[in-house]
A and B are shown apart, each in its own frame.
Chain A
Amino acid sequence: MFWRKKDKAADVAVEEQVVQEPEVQVEKVVEQLPIVEPTVVEAAPQELVKVELPKRNLTKGFKAVFSRIKFDVENLEELQDILIQADFGVSAAEEIVAEVKVRAKKSGSRTEAELKEILTDLLTEKMTRSDVSLNLDSGKQPYVILVVGVNGAGKTTTIGKLANYLVEGGAKVTLGAADTFRAAAVEQLETWATRSNSSIVKPVSEGQDPAAVAYEAVEKAIANGSDVLIIDTAGRLQNKQGLMDELGKIRRVIEKNLPISEVLLVLDSTTGQNAMTQAKAFTEVAAVTGIALTKLDGSAKGGIVYAIQDQLNIPVKLVGVGEGINDFGFFDAKEFAIGLVGEK
């Protein structure tokens, strides 16, 4: 669910509701930026309408991994192995197995079906959170989504899919191409902008300060009356302090003019235990509010998100299940659990 400005796309089936008059003010940037004098944008107060976005179901992804094992209450070692192989990590796997044992004992469960049910319920319970939907209902527009992560995780692709989804739901979306570093990254985002019918704000010169691009994107998004602005950033390994600082700067520059609704950390589900380090580091500099778990159409399970949710309290919000524009969905703990354990 999200809010969009009323005067556009009024043909979409919506439940109308006036929320608030967003007060958009553009201040001069405080940080030194190598860009042209910002033009102050007139932001006419607008009514907002509530938009129900289409439901998405995952057709691919979340494949069962437990089908090949025999559950046995006496020996849950194998269960632990499977969790480890799904990248849960040793400690989380141990914890989960211990809990399954406790519950099995309590309920007197012995059969494989019963044990699977216990495990599915346990994972669902532990992973279900109330804050999994995108923060798109504060009423302040345009909503800004900042997308961060290591190289090749799937940031640009995720942005393309998400933009398309929002546009389909009636939103006006602008993309900010703040990956000014990687070769042809801007062109890649541009292709996605075209595919998704979004606007794009590109750097004026090669290798321009990404914070300047982000700043300009905010300006343009306000000026063109966008509902959502999604900002792409260059991939960076979390141990590169300079690049991480740059991310902090990008964030601060955006926040001069608009609150950031969502900072999405894109995690490749093939990533192992290092994903935890990534989540910690990116949260520290960029205040991550949600995770997009990509490439779940492969054979990897992305189990490390269990520990990340648990320890860092960051919800998984989106999942990527392919390279196509529709290959994404919203994270659902139960689906994730069933995907791991298999249907009962």
Chain B
Amino acid sequence: MFGNLSERLVETFKGLRAKGKLSAADIDATLREIRRALLEADVSLEVVKTFIAAVRERALGDEVSKALNPAQQVVQIVQEELVVILGGEARRIQFAKNPPTVIMLAGLQGSGKTTLAGKLAKWLKDQGQTPLLVACDLQRPNAVNQLQVIGERVGVPVFAPEVGNGKGNPVSVAKDSIKHAKQKQFSVVIVDTAGRLGIDEELMKQANDIRKATDPDEVLFVIDSMIGQDAVNVARAFEDGVGITGVVLTKLDGDARGGAALSVAQVTGKPILFSSTGEGMDAFEPFYPDRMASRILDMGDILTLIEQAQKSFDEQEASAMAEKMAKDAFTLEDFLDQMQQLRKMGSLKSMLSMMPGAGKLKGQLDNIDEKEIDHTEAIIRAMTPKERRDPKILNGSRRLRIAKGSGMTVTDVNSLVNRFEQAAKMMKVMAKGGNPGIPGMPQGMGAMPRPQVKKEKGKKKAKSGNPAKRAAEISGIKPAQQGNSGSSFGLGG
């Protein structure tokens, strides 16, 4: 259907970067893509609107117009703002001064409360607490049984005086459970409640009554990460109807982007404490706002990976390369060097393949054919140093010798020389007017958004973090859009 956001932004930036400075219209074009991506990630429309407005305001300010690469700076702002809303850092459970600590769970039907209750109990038990599970879902058929089975699995007692299935009063069960916990000296009480709709006033009142009866230290709103636009309505209804202290996001082991996290955090202003990531009782972890931000936009991890890729490109080599390019002294030896740089990146391929939606970058790395690099390497190694430095002397008999020496055919040798010549020509052109990015990169690679160094938030970098680009800057070459020119290296032909 649609490509992911990184792919679409790359498209947008292609047009933008050539211009250097961003106009308000450029920023709006970028924000339109981001808006769409947020909506496709199920962030609620009203949250998207306020979010985009905030980003726009920042993007029109100084930090973007002064940035070396304004388009990337916009993405950086988006990422930062996302993390801010998702809650700068994860908060921990608040424990009561006088035990038991009471944790009440509330949420829609099917959001995963009962399973979560078990996980939370296990997690607390592993930390040395003595939790008690309380079966207050007397509505859904056999919810009480389910909690009992789960309690048994995690070795945590379950307070279940009522069988449920529509019978019994959850408010009195809740009340009694606290008495019971005090008597038996449980340190934490986890109250599982029936799923209820935000618009069901009667049941919302009942939830509030359970709250009053138990005076919980935490009321955790449990929400399915697959939820769509309704997240804002539901979050508001629970915040108004019961009052929540924190949020738990469930089923994050699925492949939903989880934009609801943003909606809920924005609307309630309450921190997301945990994420639930599977059906096993250990599939439970603290919530990481930065990871969630990346997940929603489907691009953060890619930024990190590119950062790594760029590290493998040695800075000195880069400046030497830039000089050579400027002087038209690009040789087959340099070509070989680049191949080897690329090979280092090849190992990224496997890392990338594990990531969902790595998008364009992955597609490009797929173009790195290890065999192709092997062949290229073999051919160049079969050349004399003189031939490598001056391929013009490669006549028919030399080519035949090289082919034999490398175990390749003359056609292979010819095509390599052709590709090299094209590349060298391209290099010259770029050295005059453009930034080569990482030379030898497969098509479009240089157009990927580059990570800003994370720790330097706010600080403006004097020089580019991209070694090749920095080299180009040093040597007085104006950084500009590379476009597709890298393709002339034509890996894989």
Flag whether B145 is at the interface (Cβ < 8 A): yes
Q: Is the CB of B197 within 8 A of A299?
A: yes
Chain B residues with CB under 8 Å of A237's CB are 251, 253-255
B116-143 vs A, Cβ < 8 Å mask (1 yes, 0 no): 0000000000000000000000011111
Flag whether A45 is at the interface (Cβ < 8 A): no
Q: Is the CB of B197 within 8 A of A297?
A: yes
A76 to B403, CA, bound (A): 67
Q: Is the CB of B145 within 8 A of A238?
A: no
A232 to B470, CA, bound (A): 61
Closest Cβ–Cβ distance, residue B46 to chain A (whole Å): 8
Closest B residue to A311 using CB positions: B1
Q: Is the CB of B255 within 8 A of A274?
A: yes
Q: Given A84-B45, A183-B146: A304 and B228 within 8 A (CB)?
A: yes
Q: Is the CB of B251 within 8 A of A239?
A: no
A152 to B153, CA, bound (A): 20
- Contacting chain A: which of B105-113, B177-185, B426-434, B480-488? B105-113
- Name the prevailing secondary structure of the A interface residues: loop
A261-282 vs B, Cβ < 8 Å mask (1 yes, 0 no): 0000000101111110100000
Which of these, A84, A153, A183, contacts B110 with CB under 8 Å? A153
Chain A residues with CB under 8 Å of B230's CB are 87, 270, 298-301
A218-255 vs B, Cβ < 8 Å mask (1 yes, 0 no): 00000000000000000001111000000000000000
A148-161 vs B, Cβ < 8 Å mask (1 yes, 0 no): 00111110100010
Flag whether A192 is at the interface (Cβ < 8 A): yes
Chain B residues with CB under 8 Å of A187's CB are 141-142, 145
A238 to B253, CA, bound (A): 10
Q: Given A184-B149, A270-B228, A272-B229: A239 and B254 within 8 A (CB)?
A: yes
Closest Cβ–Cβ distance, residue B146 to chain A (whole Å): 4
Q: Given A272-B228, A323-B109: A298 and B36 within 8 A (CB)?
A: no
Flag whether A47 is at the interface (Cβ < 8 A): no
A148 to B175, CA, bound (A): 38
A130 to B141, CA, bound (A): 35
Flag whether B199 is at the interface (Cβ < 8 A): yes
Q: Is the CB of B251 within 8 A of A191?
A: no
Q: Is the CB of A184 within 8 A of B226?
A: no
Q: Is the CB of A298 within 8 A of B146?
A: no
Flag whether B312 is at the interface (Cβ < 8 A): no
Q: Is the CB of B227 within 8 A of A271?
A: yes
A323 to B140, CA, bound (A): 8
Chain B residues with CB under 8 Å of A152's CB are 109-112, 224
Flag whether A81 is at the interface (Cβ < 8 A): yes
Flag whether B239 is at the interface (Cβ < 8 A): no
Question: Which parts of A141-187 form the interface with B (CB within 8 Å)?
Answer: 150-154, 156, 160, 181-185, 187
Select the residue from B145, B226, B254 with max chain A CB neighbours within 10 A: B226
Q: Is the CB of B229 within 8 A of A84?
A: yes
Flag whether B438 is at the interface (Cβ < 8 A): no
Closest Cβ–Cβ distance, residue B257 to chain A (whole Å): 8
Chain B residues with CB under 8 Å of A86's CB are 229
Question: Which parts of A187-212 form the interface with B (CB within 8 Å)?
Answer: 187-188, 190-192
Question: Which parts of B226-245 form the interface with A (CB within 8 Å)?
Answer: 226-230, 233-234, 237
Name 13 interchain pairs, CB-CB below 8 A, sorted by A.
A91-B1, A150-B254, A151-B279, A154-B109, A184-B145, A184-B149, A187-B141, A238-B255, A239-B254, A268-B224, A272-B256, A274-B257, A299-B234
A residues sitting closer than 8 Å to B (CB atoms) are 81, 84-87, 89-91, 150-154, 156, 160, 181-185, 187-188, 190-192, 237-240, 268, 270-275, 277, 295, 297-301, 304, 323
B residues sitting closer than 8 Å to A (CB atoms) are 1-2, 36, 39-42, 44-45, 108-112, 139-143, 145-146, 148-150, 153, 165, 197-199, 224, 226-230, 233-234, 237, 251, 253-257, 259-260, 279
Nearest 8 Cβ contacts at the A-B interface = A272-B228, A152-B110, A272-B42, A183-B149, A184-B145, A184-B146, A300-B230, A274-B256
